[in-house]
Structure 1
Amino acid sequence: MDLDGTLVNSEWLAKEAYNFGFKEVLGRPLTVEEKEELVGKPIALFLSRFPDKSDLIKSHILHYYQENIYKVKLYDGIENMLESLLMKDYKLGIVTSQLKHFANSELENNKIHSYFQSVLTVEDCVESKPHPLPLIQAAKELNIDPKQCMYIGDQITDIQAAHASQMKSGAALWGEGMFEKLVIQEPNFVFNTPSELLELLNQKLENKW
């Protein structure tokens, strides 16, 4: 699974943090195009366009995010979904473009870290989504064939990474995910709520798909 925008409602904070960093260093907020582009992208990759000021911008962004990370909460239905999946003996893992200390804080603050047997952040992988390697690495940690996995996320890069790794892909629309953008990537499944994911997997257990 993806983390930000899929399990936790954190994208608003990322945009606020970037706005803060841009205003402090560049004297301007993010443009509309920049706001759309930064979602789901590693911070170093996004800031690479500002080589002379990227470190300073990054320090302001990280400070703002750290000061407000306690406000990041789970989407409705997420904890129930995770509990139900574990009860059915599914192995759960996270692949995120988030920094490790922020990802751990979001998971621990919301008391869901223990649900996951693998958590891979941007520091754990030599490539980032949409490259398939992070998802393949997660499947290896879980000791599962990628073809037997489903990766669920809210961004185009999530669906692309799932396809590239030969996993089933699930588009999560309960958070930041936008149907008109994700459907173009032809996800295997589209979920409007976490409970719809549970319904699908219940059908799988009953051999209906």
Structure 2
Amino acid sequence: MNIDFSNIDGVIFDLDGTLVASELNFSVIKSHLGCPAEGDILVHIDSLADKQLQQQAHQYILDQELADAQNAAWLETGKWLVETVADRQLPMAIVTRNSIAATRLKISNNSIPIDLVVTREDAPPKPNPSALLSVARRWNIPPARCLYVGDFIYDQQAAQRAGMQFLMV
């Protein structure tokens, strides 16, 4: 993989499927929650009228994420990308739709050397670009000079909406 860093001043990574492996079975999770196959799980949960059902659904997602986090290991490409960016001494961040608890566990278990982390508890989840834009503001780097690295259409959509460069892995 060859990346031209000449127009990149900071790199933001997705977590699952980008830096670490994930065994979350979204088809099973969606089925359990009554979410349409093509629907967004988090949007579906927020649309539930019953607050108790919403709370139970959020707890179910959290339980699935925490179980997945126990065994999540570095992906070879993700590790190489982080090492490459670190060698270039560029700032790095993680923006994920994961919970903070599962994210912290994955970062800790894999000694991922990234301190700036934005989860769904911190900002609206992707494809909303808010989290990406908040990182660029914090770094004082124009969004166009940031690279977002991800593995899913929501990552690409968030990067495009934020005016950032995007790398699909």
TM-score for both structures, normalised by structure 1: 0.64
Contact 1:91–1:117 under 8 Å retained in 2? no
- Whole-Å separation in 1 of the counterparts to 2:49 and 2:64: 21
Deviations 1:153-203 (A, max 9, x none): 11212112111211111112xxxxxxxxxxxxxxxxxxxxxxxxxxxxxxx
136, 156, 159: which one pairs with 2:156? Answer: 159
Structure 2 residue 92 is matched with structure 1 residue 81: no
Matches within 5 A, 1:26-65: 34=37, 36-38=38-40, 43=42, 45-52=43-50, 53-65=53-65
**Structure with the higher fraction of residues in helix conformation:** 1
136, 143, 146: which one pairs with 1:146? Answer: 143
Residue of structure 2 equivalent to 1:3: 15
- Whole-Å separation in 1 of the counterparts to 2:157 and 2:27: 27
Question: How many angstroms does 1:68 deviate by?
Answer: 4.2
- Whole-Å separation in 1 of the counterparts to 2:89 and 2:55: 43
Contact 2:69–2:103 under 8 Å retained in 1? no
Structure 2 residue 130 is matched with structure 1 residue 118: no
Among all aligned residue pairs of Structure 1 and Structure 2, give the percentage whose two residues are the same amino acid. 28
Are the structure 2 counterparts of residues 61 and 168 from structure 1 closer, same or farther at C-alpha, using a change threshold of 3 Å? Answer: closer
TM-score for both structures, normalised by structure 2: 0.77
Question: How many angstroms does 1:14 deviate by?
Answer: 5.0
| Total equivalences in the alignment | 155
Question: How many angstroms does 1:64 deviate by?
Answer: 3.9
Question: How many angstroms does 1:131 deviate by?
Answer: 2.4
Contact 2:96–2:119 under 8 Å retained in 1? yes
- Whole-Å separation in 2 of the counterparts to 1:81 and 1:51: 42
- Whole-Å separation in 2 of the counterparts to 1:118 and 1:79: 17
AA aligned to 2:118 is: L
State the secondary structure of the residue aligned to 1:48: helix
Listed as ranges, the gaps of 5+ residues in structure 1 are 173-209
Question: How many angstroms does 1:142 deviate by?
Answer: 2.3
RMSD in angstroms over aligned alpha carbons?
2.5
- Whole-Å separation in 2 of the counterparts to 1:104 and 1:14: 20
AA aligned to 1:56 is: Q
- Whole-Å separation in 1 of the counterparts to 2:56 and 2:94: 29
Max radius of gyration: which structure?
Answer: 1
Listed as ranges, the gaps of 5+ residues in structure 2 are 1-12
AA aligned to 1:143 is: N
Deviations 1:48-80 (A, max 9, x none): 344332322332332343244211112123223
Are the structure 2 counterparts of residues 17 and 64 from structure 1 closer, same or farther at C-alpha, using a change threshold of 3 Å? Answer: farther
